Structure 1
């Protein structure tokens, strides 16, 4: 069999061109053990299949200007789906991961797995109609979801703190494959968010990245050598059980005493503010019943500069910084990406958590990881799910 007929080599070359954006034959020969003639045949084959297209000419180093290739953004299309506790979102992307259509749903008590699957199906079909596409034009759908998961079987197992109680042992991949007739692949949301941000930051060439998502709970993912670090089990939310205060509080009477999530999470923040309001602290929120204080009202009050709410967000951020320092001291990332509703609520949260993390990082400032909120931010999870599917696609 000729080297250019090997589908694994073809997919590797495709992935390399995709990663670089544009690549010449010489760029690819520096990476792959093919002869010049074999690489020419392979590129001709990929061009004929419309997997790649000629994008122009590169800079000359003395001879003819080299032909530059890029992946064909219209070769196929990909869906990326985020399933989280506060909202879920769906995006349709081209092969360059440009978002073509996006939509979002609030995950309230009525949002059962069946209802979400119906919404996703209807929106996916509408997206295809809008762009004049059919299911044959789609590579598939990637899903980034709250864990724990059985990734190989495409099942969301027993996630906590969903507003709807029906999210237990949900065969989400099978449900959507049956409705949409496309392949569907599942990973936990922290992993897909990190995959998405790593793709968006690819020009920085980061190889060791820590991602922490602060929302209803704390979720994390780690990349080393450019690959997601996967343990023996899928426990993206286990970082929230890191003990930062022995004999401290528990979140909703569950988990470890003094766990990080008891100090850094939407429910713990809501509860602390409600307690302060009940004992008579002044606040713009004092005009509404304490039980109606939720994350939406807290973020509004924070933007208005409410002293009590700002104080509580700052305290949450400081504890997040302690948790980050513990992770950084154990994992030694070169880049730390912070995401999730708590971090996105206000710049105060990011700045305070980073300040505290730096003060508690061993050998700082000699060892100083880059802290960022990433490029994709709220879209990281859904985009990363699409990137994951593109990476796992075996080519044709």
Structure 2
């Protein structure tokens, strides 16, 4: 049973969140979750219905008396935008209060996509989406932003992310700029936290309390949830997993970071660098790339070669997946999650990568097989950040 906070606003929010988690819920089911009197709960439900936050959805099954009234949240009472800002692609979604996606767009982050251009594009898309759905801007609760870190979450600033194709992405007060351009309040979190929040929302009926999210793409990102809440450190932790040392005195990626760090073995950039190094040494084993300059070799070429069963590339991906499995096992042995969600371009490059990473991780989990966490590619996958950004706005809802 949840002990209700004496603050009326917190009680309202807690009840509303419970109804959101379980549509078609009865007063009796709510009574079992909260230490409220029947009259207090009835009055609260009447208020939420009267204000439009929830609605009656029908009658439930009788347990001997009258059939109980069922309640659900009103999806059209308010709306939320979820914005993903990533290195390769960014996306924007418009969601109702049940987090159904009403509109969605995705675009490439090329060398022209500066902060100014992205903000202008977001503003244009916000107007298009609202007009298409006939939604007044006043009904929008906010824009949640899940962005590549590091960042200052409290100040709403993207600090100094690496590897953006366009210039200008250092010390960007993204929340302030978005708010000024759109007239809608914005809040910021890193993309890994947003993705984890989204995947947790998608599984809300399963009551999972401890989750780990790992994204392997251009860089490595991770997020952790304990007791159903995101875990935050003293600084933004999104990219810290990439600096996990898995080989003492091992290589560094691009001459930066820790020696022997995971990112030097299991990242898109690590694979690209390994192939480019082979080509520079005159050991080009990548078919069709004989006349290509080393720096022009990119991940798309490697994934194509992987699906064409080129042995050289298959071995590189297999080694990378094994190192990823070791990194995962290290995290799991510390955090002991129930569920690990894996995402990103590297994880999804080929089924064998995911399978190898999971297999290696399982072999190195302490207490295995008595302790067997579940591995998944997630339910939302490439939409996880945008959905999760909207979830983060919903979590801050004041009703």
- TM normalised by structure 1 equals 0.96
1:244 corresponds in structure 2 to 246
- 1:44 matches 2:30: no
CA contact (8 A) 2:284 2:290 kept: no
The alpha carbon displacement at 1:354 in A equals: 0.1
1:280 corresponds in structure 2 to 283
* SS state at 1:342 partner: coil
- 1:355 matches 2:345: no
CA contact (8 A) 1:285 1:293 kept: no
- 1:388 matches 2:385: no
1:254 corresponds in structure 2 to 256
Q: Which of 12, 15, 18 lines up with 2:17 in the alignment? A: 15
1:314 corresponds in structure 2 to 318
* SS state at 1:235 partner: coil
CA contact (8 A) 1:52 1:72 kept: yes
1:302-334 Cα distance to aligned partner (Å, 9 max, x none): 233332222222211111001001101111111
Paired positions, count: 393
1:134 corresponds in structure 2 to 136
1:40-84 Cα distance to aligned partner (Å, 9 max, x none): 111111111111111122222111121111101111110000111
* SS state at 2:257 partner: coil
Cα 1:288–1:45, aligned 2, differ >3 Å: closer, same or farther? farther
1:260-292 Cα distance to aligned partner (Å, 9 max, x none): 001111111111123344533543343451332
1:294 corresponds in structure 2 to 298
* SS state at 1:286 partner: coil
The alpha carbon displacement at 1:12 in A equals: 1.0
* SS state at 1:105 partner: strand
Distance 1:288 1:105 in 2: 31
1:174 corresponds in structure 2 to 176
Q: Greater shift after overlay, 160-169 or 180-189?
A: 160-169
CA contact (8 A) 1:285 1:301 kept: no
1:146-225 correspondence runs (5 A): 146-225=148-227
* SS state at 1:343 partner: coil
2:377 corresponds in structure 1 to 373
1:36-75 correspondence runs (5 A): 36-75=38-77
CA contact (8 A) 1:4 1:41 kept: no
- TM normalised by structure 2 equals 0.95
CA contact (8 A) 1:149 1:157 kept: yes
Distance 2:245 2:11 in 1: 46
Distance 1:282 1:257 in 2: 27
Aligned residues: CA RMSD: 1.6
The alpha carbon displacement at 1:4 in A equals: 11
Distance 1:275 1:192 in 2: 35
Distance 1:378 1:277 in 2: 32
1:88 corresponds in structure 2 to 90
CA contact (8 A) 1:277 1:286 kept: no
Q: Greater shift after overlay, 234-243 or 158-167?
A: 158-167
Distance 1:158 1:238 in 2: 14
Distance 2:13 2:247 in 1: 49
Structure 2 unaligned residues grouped into runs of 5+: none
Distance 1:329 1:276 in 2: 35
Structure 1 unaligned residues grouped into runs of 5+: none
The alpha carbon displacement at 1:125 in A equals: 0.8
Q: Which of 264, 267, 270 lines up with 1:268 in the alignment? A: 270
Q: Greater shift after overlay, 221-230 or 286-295?
A: 286-295
Q: Which of 32, 38, 55 lines up with 1:30 in the alignment? A: 32
Distance 1:140 1:30 in 2: 32
Distance 1:358 1:87 in 2: 31
CA contact (8 A) 2:159 2:171 kept: yes
